[in-house]
Amino acid sequence: MKNANEIKFLKNRSIVKFEGEDFLGEIGIDGRIFKALTLARISVGVISQQAIENGISILVHESDAEKAVACLIDEFEAERKSGKVSQIYSINNVSVIGFVAEDFNKVFAELARNNVFPLLLNQVAGENRVNIVVTSSQDEKTKNIIESEIFKKPKTVHLAIIGHGNVGKTLIEQVLESSDEIKRRKKIDLKVVAVANSKKIAFNKKGFDANWRDEVLAAEHSSDVQELISFSRENQLENLIVVDNTASKDFVKNYHTLAENGFDLVSSNKIFNTLPIEEYRKLRYTLSKNNRRYLYETNVGAGLPLIDTIKLLHLSGENITRIKGVFSGTLSYVFNNFSLRNDKFSTIISEALEKGYTEPDPREDLSGNDVARKLLILARELDLINEFEDISIQNLVPESLLSVSKTEFLSRLDELDEEYQKIKENQEPGHVLRYVGDLHGDLQKDKGELDVKLISVPATSALGQLKGSDSIFEIYTESYGENPIVIMGAGAGAQVTARGVFGDILRVSETK
C-alpha cells in the first residue's frame, strides 16, 4: 500500500490545450473530450478548466500528444468552424508532481522563490492533495523543494563562491569543515557547486570536497556569469546564493542579472554599495521585484554585527544621530602603536606592511578612501542619499608622494616622519591619535555630513583604549543620549571576514 504522503512523479507528459470563447460550462464538453480520446485509446491524466483563459487543459503521455490533438480537432470540427473553439495544441516536455500538503501556500511560496511557476494545478477537494505540472527542465528541482517542505528533509543550498583569495579560500574551508554540523543542527545542506576567479570558473554539481583546489586548477570554463546561470538551469539547482569575495569593480555589474535569474547575493565586496545612489536604489528595486536578498555585513567591521545593528535600530524607528569610529584595522594598528611607542611613523608603516595588515601599496590605506567607502555604506543604511564626493577625506600621504611609483614611495617613507612626530607631540597630555570616520549633522534630512580624518582623543576614552588592529564604532541615538552603543572587536583578517560572510550565507539560507 502506498504512503498517502508519497510524492507522485510522472515524466514525459504533454498538456493538450483546448481554447475558445463561449464553450466553457457547456454541458457535455468534458464527456466528448473523454469519449474521443478513449476511442483513440489515449489515457487522460488530469483535466483542468481555466475560466480566465477560456480553456481546458488535458494531460496525456508525450507519445500520445500529436494523436490527441488530431482526434480532438476532428471531434470539434464544427465548433472550430463556428469560432467557438479557437485552437487545440500541445505543450510537450512537462512532468506531473502529485503530493499531499497541509500548507500549500508555503510550498508554492518556496517554488516561486526558486522561479518555479506551475503550468497547471489541479487540487483534490477535501484531501489536501494537489497535482502540479511543470516543465521537465524544472521537475527535479520542483520535486526536491516539495520533498524538503513536506518531509522536512535538509534543504539543499547551492553556493557559487566568486574569488578564492584569502577570504574566499578560508570561507570554502569553513563551509566544508562545518557542513555536517550545519546539516544536523539547522537542516541545511550547504554545497559549494561553483568556484571562480577573474579567469576561470569550476563546477561540481554534487558539491566540492577537500580537493576543490585541484578541480579549480583543472577548470576549463571561462569566468562568465552566463556560464553560471546556464549551469544552475541545466542541473536544476534550487536555493542559489552567489558569494562575492572579490574587490572587483567589474563583477558587481552582474548583481542585477544574478538577482533576476534566481540568485541571492552575499558580498564582502564594498564597491556596489558605494556606487552612485541611482545604481544603489536600482538594485534594491530588482531585489524586491525578484524576491531576492542581498547581505553584506562584512562591508564594514568584518565579522562585527554593525550593519545589522544599525538596520534594526533604523527600522525600529530609533533616531540615530551620529556614527563615529575607527573603521580601518590597518590604521587602527598604525596609530595604536605610533601613539604608545617611540618608533618613527615610517617604522610602524613598514611593520604593518610586513605583517600583512596593509595593502601591498600602503597608500591605499593611508589615502582614507577605504574608511570613506565604509562610512558612506553606513550613511545609506540610514536612507541618506550622500555620494562619495560628499565626503571630506584627510589623505595621510603628502602630495609629493601621491603620484610616485610604489617602490619609490616605500623608499621615501621616512619623509612622513617629521610631520607625524610634530602632530603626536602637539597633542594635549594623555591624548592619543586615531584615524576616524564620523557621520553627523541632521540625519533626518536627505544628506548627512561625512568626515574622515586624524584626531586626538583622551587615552581613557573608548576610542583611546583601542588595542592592536581592532575596530570600534560608536552609535549615538536619541534614546541613548550621550551614551553611545559601542561595538568593538577584530575588524579585519581573512578568518574574521570569512566567518562574517558565512553568517550571512546561513541567514539567507534559513529564510529561503
Report, as residue numbers or ranges, the catalytic residues. 374
Rounded to whole angstroms, what are the CA distances from 446 to 108, 166, 277, 386?
40, 38, 12, 8
Q: How many CA atoms lie within 13 A of 378 on its CB side?
A: 34
Phi/psi at 148 (5° precision) = -65, -40
The number of beta carbons lying within 10 Å of the beta carbon of residue 146 is 23
d(CA 379, CA 448): 7
Categorise residue 481: left if φ over 0, alpha if ψ from -120 to 50, beta otherwise.
Answer: left
Q: Which long-range contacts (CB under 8 A, 24 or more apart) does 359-367 make?
A: 359/330, 360/406, 361/406, 361/409, 362/409, 362/410, 363/397, 363/401, 363/402, 363/406, 363/409, 365/328, 365/330, 365/331, 366/331, 366/395, 366/396, 366/397, 367/393, 367/395, 367/396, 367/397
CB within 8 Å of 75: residues ≥ 6 apart: 32, 33, 36
Q: Cell numbers of 325, please?
A: 569610529
What cell numbers appear for 48 in the block? 483542468
Contact 201, 192 (CB under 8 A): no
Tell me whether residue 293 is exposed, middle or buried, using C-beta atoms within 10 angstroms of its C-beta: 0 to 12, 13 to 18, 19 or more.
Answer: middle
Rounded Cα distance, 145 and 406, in Å: 53
3-state SS of 65-80 is HHHHHHHHHHHCHHHH
Q: Which of 330, 168, 300, 138 is nearest to 234 (CA)?
A: 138
The three cell numbers of residue 88 are 487545440
